[in-house]
Chain A
Amino acid sequence: MGPGRGTGGEADQPAVPAHPAIPSTPPGATEPADRSRRAAGLAGEPASGRVPGAPGGNANEAAHGDALLSLVHVAKAFGAVQAIADGSIELYAGEAHALVGENGAGKSTLVKILAGVHQPDSGTLLIDGRPATLHGPAAARDAGIAVIYQEPTLFPDLTVAENIFMGRQPLRAGRRIDTRAMRARAAELFGRLGVPLDPARICRGLSIADQQIVEIGKALSLNARVIVMDEPTAALSALEVARLFDVVRALRAAGSAVLFISHRLEEVFEICQRVTVMRDGRQVLSSELAGLTADDLVRAMVGRDMPDRSAGEQSSPGQLVLSVQHLTREGVFTDISFGVRAGEIVAFAGLVGSGRSEVARAIFGIDRYDAGSVTVAGRRLRRGSPAGAMAAGVGLVPEDRRQQGLVMDMSIQQNMTLASLGRLQHAGLISAAAERAFATDWATRLRLKYGRLTDPVARLSGGNQQKVVLGKWLGRRPALLIVDEPTRGIDINTKAEVHRLLAQLAADGVAILMISSELPEVLHVSDRILVMREGRLTAEYARADASEEMIMTAATGQIQAQAS
């Protein structure tokens, strides 16, 4: 098979073929002293505590010497957004290492650094203890790092074997591709992984799980030593997850390191030996999993200072504006019932992919639903009709403002008036003067920072673009405004302005449904919090009663923590 690669067929055999780099250290066997220190650190620094520095990152390195791969105090910023402030992680041969953290904690950026897609601004990447730089995906691949994304990109028209060996097909005389050898090798790889996949079939029609297996096969054929799986189980059935875990065990047994990223903590405990927790772009915990509980992890993930709650922004809710009853869309969300009153801000919390945006889209009529009803101000909305929703006074500020919220090539003015053209036209023609007055009015109210209203909206910063989207809907004086991740990718100052705007709207009697993955924002802005998990509403809290732990617990399904 892959030249010189040890076998991994004996999945149930825990023995690990020693990797030359770490001759005697069993996987995850941190030194006792180190372990106790960490455990103490965890216990001694409860939820509120910001762990000073990266806890013992240096001590850990010193104790271990050679990790297969380690990131040491790396930082990465995108413009004003500090995606990773201080990220450290060490991966040892034969271990499955979990990387967990809230949305936006910096996990994806860390993965992309390992994949060679991004280069860190500072900090070091060590491979076999030696500093290394990954200039691109090809360099990462050559360094033995393979990344399996949630939805792999394969060549659908080519065979499974060709997908694995593209560009590296085994050759016979005359530099011709040796198809038979290629298929045999692919079959051998799948045999090693214990998965029956036909190397001669084309990839079109493979399930996501099988596509991941093809990618893992490719990683094996490249002799990858570090295999990063970015939320691999998100789209898998229980059976497929079990099979994937067998594969992970086989990889470990063969001496690879697996970095396993998942929001499902029960999976983390099932398959991983060590864990690294990130929060706000920092490593806050890195330790063995043995001895930790799910509560410990959740606490480490959210344990940050609580944001101030300005009591002045509290509003007294009025009449019921939105009423959602038993809304169901097969396979997406099930039996969702809730209401939003005038002057109330209701937050939709939960993990990415839990179905929050989908519910919002169904309410607004973009997607159809299979059962249930949506009523706005006493009028039942027709399903699948955004025009009907708009007529009833619903506005939607979508998650992806560049793709769905704005027409990037059109001017600020044109974008702002897009949803209100009916009111600005006379005899079928849009009055330029009315359009201008309308846009100027809203730009002032929103404190928009712009050059000229005729500038293309693409020239504005992310925060100001978001204000334009808000202005577009506010111009219609909506009864219900749905905002999906209203402050994603926006700098802190503009963020505060958006929050102030939402509070002001609520005070004016608008009902607001806000989807947000940022817990501080949820706790700061909303009056009531609904939590979704895997397509269902799992919890509802008044703001005064909610904590980040409670929300995180309801969102990840660690029910036992609710008792505490």
Chain B
Amino acid sequence: MSATATQRRDPAPPPPDPGSRRLTERVFRVRESGILAVLVVFVAITTAIQPRFLDTQNIQFVLINTTVFALLALGETMVVVSRNVDLSIGSVLGLSAYLSTRLFSQVHGIPVPAVFAVGLAIGLACGVANGLMVSLGRVPSLVVTLATLYIIRGIDILIVGGNEVVAQSLPNAFANIPQDTVLGVPDLAIVIAAVVALGAYYLRSFRSGRELYAIGSNPDAARLAGIPVGKRIFTAFAVSGALAGLAGVLWAAEYQTIDSTAGTGYELLVVSAVVVGGVAIFGGSGTAIGAAIGALLLAAINSALNVLGIAPFWDQAIAGFLLLLAITLDRVISLRLVAALRVRSSRRAG
């Protein structure tokens, strides 16, 4: 615009009303803090009934259980935030788990990192296929990934047949991964926590990360703002696939017996964890940290039923109940939020 930068004399920018800012920021955090509160209360109640729940061994068990889900939830968060969904991750996990760990018996002395790399590559390939169909083919992601959920599982069953990878075929260096701890905390949990933190930081602080939120919040406006919508969505699916591939290898290290049913039904558990963790199902808001806490909560519930001796049948019922609760809460909170913000606007205008 005009090149002459005249002297600025106008008053400093209006000091944003401190009370109102606190309100917005509090609301921003409320979903994560809410889920954290639920987790604390749940742990407290369970421990009161059965103190064994807080045994070091059980905590380690819960944390290890969480790692696979947290990894999947990170990828799913990136996808859901952009107003998409990836339902293929359970199948990708299964395929990756079998194909990568079979290498231990096929290629003698193959280094463990190479197996992880193979798992990641398998997942990446699946994610790229999903991403291409969604971003280039403009097919709704619900349809695409529902289809690949079955296709990839089908391929898995074709390859695996009645076989399975058994624990004896896995080298110790691999089989012991879930057991290694630092000061009582599983190594794996630390690594995954770091990965999730990195992912959350990326989503929060980088342009391409914020653009995923923008796409999910208003796809048309995102296009008008010059955001490469297709490219961003493609990347989200590719990352989600790659993380699911990685999670497959972890899953194998944890369970050590891998047949063609590995990871069946995980997609819905992960979507539940993500939504319970405060990611809006129609995109635009939520964090990877929240999603990881959601995964932790689901793992804790699973373990609690075990410890309390309740039939595992309740596991899924409770997961479903939580999902319903989370979505209802989400709806109520956003309606309240809008109402509160409106009131603020009108007060200010008046």
Contact = CB atoms under 8 A, between A and B. Distances in A.
Interface of A: 2, 4-7, 9-10, 17-20, 93, 137-138, 141, 144, 153-158, 162, 166-167, 169, 171, 175-177, 179, 184, 187-188, 190-192, 194-202, 204-207, 209-210, 223-225, 239-240, 254-256
Contacts of A137: 224
Interface in B169-219: 205-207, 210-211, 213-214, 216-218
B213 A157 contact: yes
Contacts of A225: 1
23 contacts: A2-B1, A4-B5, A5-B2, A5-B5, A93-B2, A153-B218, A155-B213, A157-B280, A157-B283, A158-B210, A158-B217, A166-B225, A167-B211, A167-B226, A177-B205, A177-B210, A184-B13, A191-B11, A200-B16, A200-B25, A204-B337, A205-B339, A205-B342
B20 interface: yes
A153 B224 contact: yes
B3 interface: yes
Contact of B21 (A154, A201, A204): A201
B6 A144 contact: no
B86 to A, nearest CB: 20
- Could you tell me the dominant secondary structure of chain A's interface residues? loop
A154 B210 contact: no
A210 B345 contact: yes
A441 B94 CA distance: 63
Given A156-B284, A162-B210, A198-B17, A167 B2 contact: no
Contact of B345 (A158, A199, A206): A206
Contacts of B3: 4, 6, 20
Given A4-B1, A255-B2, A202 B214 contact: no
Categorize the interface residue count of chain B: 35 or more
Given A2-B1, A205-B337, A187 B13 contact: yes
Contacts of A157: 213, 216-217, 280, 283-285
Contacts of B10: 7, 9-10, 191-192, 194
Contact of A200 (B24, B207, B227): B24
Given A154-B221, A177-B205, A207-B345, A166 B214 contact: yes
B341 A190 contact: no
Nearest to B17: A198
B16 A187 contact: yes
B213 A202 contact: no
Nearest to B349: A239
Given A190-B13, A196-B14, A210-B345, A155 B214 contact: yes
Interface in B1-34: 1-14, 16-17, 20-21, 24-25, 28
B108 interface: no
A199 B15 CA distance: 10
A167 B13 contact: no
Contact of B338 (A154, A184, A205, A239): A205
Nearest to A243: B349
Contacts of B17: 198
Contacts of B36: none
Nearest to A156: B217
A254 B1 contact: yes
Given A155-B217, A156-B284, A204 B341 contact: yes
Nearest to B224: A137
Contacts of A187: 13-14, 16
B23 to A, nearest CB: 8
Query: In this complex, which of A6, A144, A255 has the most chain B Cβ atoms within 10 angstroms of its Cβ?
Result: A6
A191 B13 contact: yes
A155 B221 contact: yes
Contacts of B8: 7, 9
Contacts of A93: 2
A138 B9 CA distance: 33
A20 B3 CA distance: 8
Contact of B227 (A4, A141, A166, A209): A166
